[in-house]
Amino acid sequence: MKKNILIVFGTRPEAIKMAPVVKAFRRHSAYTTKVCVTGQHREMLDQVISFFDLEVDFDLNLMKPGQNLHSLTSAIISGVKEVMDAFMPDLVLVHGDTTTSTAAALSAFYSGAKVGHVEAGLRTYNKYAPFPEEMNRQLTGRLADFHFSPTEKAKINLLSEGVSEGAISVTGNTVIDALMEGVERIKNIENHPGIERLKQLTGDNEVILITGHRRENFGQGFNDICTAIKKISSQFKGKIVYPVHLNPNVQDPVNKSLRDLDNVILIEPLPYESFLWLMNRSKIILTDSGGIQEEAPSLGKPVLVMRETTERPEAVEAGTVKLVGTDVDKIVTGVLELLKNNELYHQMSTSYNPYGDGKASQRIVEFVEKNL
């Protein structure tokens, strides 16, 4: 008898990382696999769903202007409950550290289904950094029956918290599965308008890519980041491309400080395929994102992380990533060193990527086969 698998996600990063998981389960005849999206993000989520040709079975469409974590959490719990009643899954798979993941896991637990946590075990052990993601991830871990850890270090974190070793599978990170598929898909796209526009904007110049959106950087953090970018722009002959997050806490300081600089290009957030192309085109990446810390090493791109802590220490230890926080001097020095020191650049761009080989999704399916 077929088992019912429900895969729930709501944001663009989740969709990217769960797309290969969805496809791996749908290839398997032992499962009826359905996808539920909460719409925690909307337009950016839909772009990824379209790019990976994913069929969505339940769309809660919960995104509202000005929504807060309280109302979003309660809406997800209620919305997923209705899906649980309609589909009655044996296993609900959630991803990472979003409000969708935690609320969906709680709703699944209330309904009596088993919960599988993809990208389990990442920790900073500072509940406010990243906020609310650190506690989302820990809470989801407490609710989960199966834990799919990207690395051995993540597994060790779970073991130290009392999780049974038999409930943990070290799979690698599914983002590498998605990255490999995405890069291949881009090769077959001709005259993509977004990519063609990026080619025009960057020309033959060296490119520094910047992304930033973390809540803990709102306010003085983003002011300092902008000050650092200004200083870098005055010493860099290439182009600095910054897809600016739509949150006003990001838009306001970035536009105020950087919009008049000749070699700083401020653009709207990019669809996944355009962003992949831009990452691959860049020389250096400055970010506060978690996923980019995992993706960029597979593309040979050094990453400077504008956060004080990271739940992905493996990349720091491997030498592909360096923490610079929002300290102006550290950001500027970090970038200029990479631009001037060829040996340092080579070390960071050729270091081993600790996050996987592109087979994480298949390992998840194999674990579920044996344990569900």
Task: Based on the residue annotation, tell me whether 288 is a catalytic residue of this protein.
Answer: no
Report cis status (omega within 30 of 0) of the bond before 130: yes
3-173+356-371 shares its CATH topology with 191-350: yes
Domain ranges across the chain = 3-173+356-371, 191-350
Summarised one tens digit per residue, pLDDT across range 246-294 is 888 888 898 999 999 999 999 999 999 999 999 999 999 999 888 888 8
* pLDDT (tens digit per residue) in 62-112: 988 878 999 999 999 999 999 999 999 999 999 999 999 999 999 999 999
- Name the catalytic one among 41, 213, 307, 312: 213
Catalytic residue status for 245: yes
Torsion region of 7: left, alpha or beta (phi above 0 gives left; psi -120 to 50 gives alpha): beta
Among the listed residues 133, 134, 145, 294, the single catalytic one is: 133
Cβ atoms 228, 331 nearer than 8 A: yes
CB neighbour list of residue 215: distance below 8 Å, 6 or more residues apart: 130, 131, 132, 249
The single residue of 90, 206, 245, 366 carrying the catalytic annotation is 245
Q: Using pLDDT thresholds of 50, 70 and 90, give the confidence band for residue 179.
A: very high
If you classify domain 3-173+356-371 with CATH, what class do you get? alpha beta
**C-beta of residue 9 within 8 angstroms of C-beta of residue 94:** yes
Which backbone phi and psi does 89 adopt, to 5 degrees?
-70, 150
The yes-or-no answer on residue 196 being catalytic is no
CATH fold label, 191-350: Rossmann fold (3.40.50)
Give CA angle at 331 (44, 293), nearest 5°. 40
Instruction: Look up 26 and say whether it is catalytic.
Output: no
Token pair belonging to 197: 């526009």
Which one is catalytic: 41, 95, 97, 134?
97
155 DSSP 8-state letter: H
Q: Tell me the backbone φ, ψ of residue 183, rounded to 5 degrees.
A: -60, -40
